[in-house]
Structure 1
Amino acid sequence: MKLLHVDSSALGTHSVTRELGRALVESWTRNNPGTEVIYHDLAAQPLPHWAPVADASDPAARAGNAMLDEFLAADVVVIGAPMYNFSIPSTLKAWIDRVAVAGRTFRYGANGPEGLAGGKRVIIVSARGGIYSEGPAEAMDFQEDYLRKVFGFLGVTDIEVVRAEGVNLSPESKQRAVAAAHEAIAGGCRLAA
């Protein structure tokens, strides 16, 4: 089994999604011995933003092709996705632009778009400073909704979210949110293959 783990937070050791993603991958590998893990830190090694490249030997084209191949080969994809300004980090968007490739992960047919990257599981590790899953700010969630839709467009139907929400409201709120997410990882999150 292959697990692709992608982190995108720029907060380093202060990142909630990095902490939770690491805990999730550790729990997954304990429950699924022999899992091969591939890891990318998009903040430490950002991909250039997508642009048409005519030369396949161009370093950006090679990096994009490698990311696409890893995504296609993965059985499970764990994505550390903090909410930045109601959306995702631009580094994560640059990675998505490398894996959302016509003819490889989706195609357009007579009945519209068809996802080609099904049969894998995507677990989104989400952190948000405020509360966006309900209430007045729910309409400003362009993070989780976007990720669900883009991976759904690629044919992925097994999508799960582990969320820590309200982490910037107070130290107590952060502690509760992170503890609840760790609890979901330890008990409620489906970690078996």
Structure 2
Amino acid sequence: MTTVLVIQAHPHTKNSLSVTVGKKFIDTYRKNHPNDKIIIRDLYANRGVPPLNDLTMEAWRKKKFQEELAPAEEKLLTDHETWLDEFMNADKYIFINPMYNHFLPAELKQYLDLTAVAHRTFKYTAKGPVGLLKNKKVIHIQSSGSIYHQEGKWGIIKFAFKKLFHISSSQSCALMDLGSLYLVNMLKFYGINDIDSIYIEGADANPSQRENTLAAAQKMATQKAINF
């Protein structure tokens, strides 16, 4: 049975474009793949992502040297292991998030920190790190107030040209979407190369086009979900 893990990194707000499009994708996928298992991991629910903090570091140190763990330390390491196993055991991933200041929400960054574990999702070799998660696939669904990806490579070329010659411009391009770049880089670091995306962009910059923007993204989600 194929397991699909939905990583929803969005606060619980109403009228979210990324969550709405994500739901359309999930509903369509479930309809076309009724035997697959879908797990929703809401990064904002309950206590959120298990932290990497002083308690975590001390617990790891104690575990390494086989020292007795305090109850809170044991609970934290158990939570880490549960979340990591869930991530590793999935076959497909759906990441859903808004863009925050050209990057990912902090909760999603923390989730990637939690899953970047040597000898589990990657390993070090004499030729550099090698990802251990093979034959998996991802779709990234992200909303942003401005437009970054619409012009593709041509937009990047224009952006780079203006920067090179110090031409003032308010134009955005994919290079400014640091969150998406980072997510893709981390997934490839884990060995996952089958990565697709749906960007819901410009609803804040062009509020009169919000419904059209949403409709286009939902149509794309329906099409992509069938063969995901």
- Is the TM value for this pair above 0.5? yes
User: Where do 5+ consecutive residues of structure 1 fail to align?
Assistant: none
The offset of 1:190, in angstroms, is 5.1
Matched, 1:49 2:84: no
TM-score by length of 2: 0.78
The offset of 1:128, in angstroms, is 0.6
Match of 1:103 in 2: 119
Render the CA deviation track for 1:126-164: whole Å, top value 9, x for unaligned. 111101224532232112111111101110011010110
Match of 2:167 in 1: none
1:49 is aligned with what amino acid?
P
**Which is richer in helix?**
2
Match of 2:179 in 1: 143
- Confirm or deny: 8 A CA contact 1:17 1:80 kept in the other structure: yes
- How many pairs were matched up? 192
Equivalent positions of 1:24-173 (< 5 A) are 24-45=25-46, 46-51=48-53, 52=57, 53-54=59-60, 58-133=74-149, 134=151, 135=155, 136-138=171-173, 139-173=175-209
Structure 1 pair 12–58 and aligned structure 2 pair: CA distance change class (3 A): farther
Q: Secondary structure at the match of 2:142?
A: strand
The offset of 1:49, in angstroms, is 3.0
Distance 1:19 1:163 in 2: 12
Distance 2:204 2:42 in 1: 23
User: Where do 5+ consecutive residues of structure 2 fail to align?
Assistant: 64-72, 156-170
TM-score by length of 1: 0.91
Distance 1:98 1:185 in 2: 28
| Structure of larger gyration radius | 2
Task: Please tell me the root mean square deviation across aligned C-alpha atoms, in Å.
Answer: 1.7
Identity, in percent, stands at 30
